[in-house]
Amino acid sequence: MCGYAGMAVSSKSISVLTPELLGVMGDSIRLRGPDDQGMWLDSSLRLGLVHQRLAIQDLSPLGAQPMHSIFGRYTIAFNGEIYNFKQLKARLVALGFQFKGGSDTEVILAAFEAWGIESALIDFIGMFSIALVDHQEKKLWLIRDRVGEKPLYYYQSEGNILFASELKPLLLCPLFKKEIEPGAVGLLMRHNYIPAPWSIFKNTFKLEPAHYLCFNLVNTTEAPIKKCYWNPSLKWDHSLNAQSLHERLDPLLRQVIADQMISDAPLGAFLSGGIDSSTIVSLMQQQSSRPVKTFSVGFNVAGFNEAEHAKAVASHLGTDHSEFYVQPADALDIIPRLPDIYDEPFADSSQIPTFIVSRMTRQQVTVALSGDGGDELFAGYSRYASYDRGFTMRRQGLAHKLMNHLPAAVVAQLTRLGKVNQRDLSLQLVLEKVLRYKASFNAASPQAFYQNQVGYWLHPEAQLTSATRLAYALDNMPVREDPTSTFQWCDINSYLPDDILVKVDRAAMANSLETRVPLLDHRLVELSLTVPTGINVVGGVTKQPLRKILYQHVPRELVDRPKQGFAVPVAHWLKNELRDWAEDLLSEKSLADTGIFNSDLIRQKWHAHLTSSHDYSFHLWSVLMFQSWYRKYI
């Protein structure tokens, strides 16, 4: 795992392209690759690359980057791992290619030389973010892996192109203009993350998963060619049953895990004790000659502690297990660092324990496997069932009649009078809830229903002084064969790459830890998309295909329990240990200083969170993370 940055500049800006600036940009992401810094400049192309290396495969200098292809056509900066590089290397050797070292980077370059860029991408199994210079065609390619495990930002303005694994290097370049994109703040308030292709800054974008960009280096003012190179089938395989799926899934997952356990650096795994991570660890342990090192975090707060379950699974499997219990003081120590770790506003509060478990893990290993992706692939989230019921029943019963035939303000008044638990809220807050329900009742498709349900602020742009709603992936999701599978595909295209994988990548890389996600091998994703909901969920019990594998190694009683999630007690902390910190950021003066928010409703939510039984921590965390980020960067 590594990080990189680069720039292709206009003739007017050539003086900016210096080794000194590239070195500073690389230093800003040194934790992504603390082992080495490499640099390459080409004044004729007006282009430079800097690469920070975390040595995982081929620890020798022969794996250093930027790297040039054997025939000199390509120069690459690469972040990620290609797990089938040894098989690709054998094919290339048969074609006459010779290799100096043992890195996957050298194999990537040879594959591009032998088969062309698009054909080679189809053969890659792994996670990757690539910046590639084609000297022959004078093109710059930016490429991201199929599911979005590895990040890639880019900026284009006035003939200057900047790109990097994170935003921090771009902010250090004098060609970069720090202009906030208000619509991105609206998306942050809606989802607690900013979905691709948007970023917090204007003219600055995240490359979507499974896409590449191709820039013309002869004329850097041209818009790049953009293409999606992976379009898996969304059709169910109705010939599947539980056993036939198991016969395909079990050996494939074992092989994927075996491939991802290959490392020249020490390796371990995150273990929560849930279905996904327990499945990964059980198959790791089965294929390991020594106890796998496993890591978990817990909380001394009822309803938030999974560490005891992880410990039980680790004991049964015989892993070498470590755990850490998070205290409020630990969160207080980390919160000031969050704008550094997530260099645009990011508001999934489980970022805190993810950083802590990554820090603990890095003390013993350099690579860690995780169980992320199982919920999206095999319908594990409990909200899928409630969304499915809500969408199917949305136009039935008295509630639908009231919503359709009475003004929202009247329904809000009736709700406040009729429900005791709503009386301690202002009428404006109750009205906001009514409007959300009304939008859901009138949703025309599962995708529209999903968007209404997952958004924290229903109309976030209304809480901003100036913002236009930005279009993004969830606006154009296809409707699949039932609502649940549609919700899964929505998550795979937004929540998974833009929240879960961002959270893990930044937290791990801030600790110079490489994470690998076996369940997101594209072959497993493709197989999961063929599985009907009736195989994934039986009798209300989710993730049946993974459970069938896991039960071969771990007793049901150790893992069969309601899904808990990697949650933290932020609602409690905001009323207690974090109250002063939050009050400072949410004060009328602080909100006015940023000039982004209309503060009335935000202050109402903060007051309601402190004085009522209602939990508005999810709404408030996005505002808090923006305010904290703003103080550091603007």
Do 630 and 491 share a domain, yes or no? no
Do 219 and 353 share a domain, yes or no? no
500 secondary structure, DSSP code:
I
619-628 residue pLDDT tens: 999 999 999 9
**The pLDDT of residue 302:** 64
Last residue of a domain, one of 536, 559, 582: 559
**The pLDDT of residue 58:** 64
> For residue 169, is pLDDT > 90?
yes
* Number of domains within the chain: 3
Q: Residue 81's domain is classified under what CATH number?
A: 3.60.20.10
Tokens of 73: 């056509």
- Other CB atoms within 10 A of residue 439 CB: 18
Opening angle at CA 493, ends 490 and 496, nearest 5 = 95
Task: Give 18's contacts (C-beta < 8 A, 6+ positions apart).
Answer: none
Q: Which long-range contacts (CB under 8 A, 24 or more apart) does 239-246 make?
A: 240/530, 240/531, 240/532, 240/535, 241/535, 242/535, 242/544, 242/545, 242/548, 245/527, 245/531, 245/535, 245/545, 246/545, 246/548, 246/549
pLDDT band at residue 33 using 50, 70 and 90 as cut-offs: very high
Do 261 and 371 share a domain, yes or no? yes
> For residue 424, is pLDDT > 70?
no
487-513 residue pLDDT tens: 999 999 999 999 999 999 999 999 999
| Angstrom distance (rounded) from CA 222 to CA 16 | 20
Residue 523 located in a structural domain: yes
Widest CA span of the chain, in angstroms?
80
Question: Which segment of 338-342, 365-369, 434-438, 596-600 scores lowest on mean pLDDT?
Answer: 434-438
Phi, psi of 353 (to 5 degrees): -65, -25
> For residue 434, is pLDDT > 90?
no
Do 541 and 574 share a domain, yes or no? no
> For residue 193, is pLDDT > 80?
yes
Residue 300 located in a structural domain: yes
| Angstrom distance (rounded) from CA 49 to CA 330 | 37
Residue 437 located in a structural domain: no
**The pLDDT of residue 566:** 61
Do 493 and 540 share a domain, yes or no? yes
Do 200 and 60 share a domain, yes or no? yes
Domain that holds residue 60: 2-228
Residue 394 located in a structural domain: no
Last residue of a domain, one of 228, 257, 279: 228
Question: Which segment of 35-39, 122-126, 175-179, 392-396 scores lowest on mean pLDDT?
Answer: 392-396
Residue 428 located in a structural domain: no
Do 103 and 199 share a domain, yes or no? yes
Residue 491 located in a structural domain: yes
More reliable by pLDDT, 30 or 460: 30
Do 45 and 144 share a domain, yes or no? yes
Do 251 and 221 share a domain, yes or no? no
205-224 residue pLDDT tens: 999 999 999 999 999 999 99
Last residue of a domain, one of 511, 533, 559: 559
Phi, psi of 36 (to 5 degrees): -170, 150
514-566 residue pLDDT tens: 999 999 999 999 999 999 999 999 999 999 999 999 999 999 999 998 766 56
**The pLDDT of residue 327:** 84
Residue 550 located in a structural domain: yes
More reliable by pLDDT, 217 or 599: 217
